Each structure stands twice: as structure tokens, then as C-alpha cells.
Chains A and B, each alone.
Chain A
């Protein structure tokens, strides 16, 4: 166990649905991240939150909307997704963002399928 949990582990949704992914870290970290892993592509950074403030939006479409109510919780709200958004979505946390040598601790991911 890495101390980072994600729910749900699997999600199937239609293009008109609204759903949310949840991430929680029990490590006392101040930075949290959303990554996307598509088939045959490297992990792609989507969003970074540092001390609850969004510090990075890596050109992510507005149909993905992150929320960080506190340093332990991170959500990814999904709305009118496209089939090409089907992927594994990973959450991670670290002591703080912006430190090159800080290790990121990952959750197990949510496997999302958009029909």
C-alpha cells in the first residue's frame, strides 16, 4: 500500500454522463497530481495542486475539472467525455510540488471507459 487510494477502480460512462473520480492520500503530503495513461503512451501529467492551489494545468480540455478541497483529497469531475478519453487515471501525491528530488506516491488508478 502506498498510502494513496482511488475510487472507483473501474468506471464505465456514457458521453452525456457526469461522474467524479476521487483520490485520498494518508501521507501528510501537500501536493497532489492527476495523470492520464493511454495505451502505448507515457504517463501524462494533467493537473498539479500544491497546498490546495492549482499550479499546473497541462492543456487539459475543460470537460475535465479538478477540485482539491484540502491537501488530502483530490477529485476529477468528468462531463461530456469522448471515447478517446478512455484511459487509466492515476492520482499521486508528494511532500510538495516543485522539488525535483521529491518522490511521488501513486494510487492504483481508475480504469475509465467512455462509451
Chain B
């Protein structure tokens, strides 16, 4: 069974603080890892697609790193804002399809 694990499940962060969370996956036969942001009552929105070991991608205050040899990716948010409140999903490409983790639910406290 292929598991994509995300931790923590839920996270409360004070506005202005920085935070990070993890996506773990089997390291064999790696092709691509995707990060999505999913706000309540909206569509999941693509953040990054990462394909190479050591990749680092950035979009404004959000960045992600990838370690395919040890099977993990980190998502970082710098200076959290209320609009960052969402569920962050990672998804691994495997066997011609995407396998999603359960997500990390991020709450930004004013």
C-alpha cells in the first residue's frame, strides 16, 4: 500500500509567525510531487509541482523543498496571514495517477 503522509494534521499559527509542515512518501520510483492549497468552499488550487531532488520552489511567502532520496517535502509559509488559512495537500505521482495525502489544516490566529 502506497501512503502519502502529511504532518501535522492540524496546525494553529499566530498571524505574522512563520510555519512549516511535512509530506512524506516512499522514495522509490519518484516522478513528481504536487502541492495544493484548498480553502473552504473553494476549489483546490495548485501551488507547486516538484520533480528533481533538491528542488526548491517559491511563490510569494510560500516555498517548498524536495528530498526524493529520503522521501519528504517541506512546505514553508513566512509571516502567516489570515488568507493562508486553508488545507494544504501534497500528492505523489505513482503508477500513472496522483495519490493524495490527507492534508494539513492550517488555522491562522489573529
Chain B 3-37, CB within 8 Å of chain A: the 1/0 string?
01000000000000000000000000001101010
B89 interfacial by beta-carbon distance below 8 Å:
yes
Interface size on B, residues (CB 8 A): 24
Q: Which residues 70-114 of A have a CB within 8 angstroms of B? A: 90, 97-98, 100-101, 103-109
Chain A residues in 8 Å Cβ range of B103: 42
CB distance from A97 to the nearest CB of B (A): 7
* Beta-carbon contact of B43 and A43 below 8 Å: no
* Beta-carbon contact of B102 and A40 below 8 Å: yes
B71 interfacial by beta-carbon distance below 8 Å:
no
B42 interfacial by beta-carbon distance below 8 Å:
yes
Chain A residues in 8 Å Cβ range of B93: 100-101
Sort chain A's interface into a size bin: 20 to 34
Chain B residue, CB-CB nearest to A2: B43
Given A2-B43, A42-B4, A43-B89, residue A104 in contact with residue B32 (CB < 8 A): no
CB distance from A95 to the nearest CB of B (A): 12
CB distance from A11 to the nearest CB of B (A): 16
Chain B residues in 8 Å Cβ range of A56: 96-97
The 10 closest A-B pairs by CB, nearest first: A100-B31, A100-B32, A100-B93, A43-B100, A106-B43, A42-B100, A106-B44, A103-B46, A42-B102, A2-B43
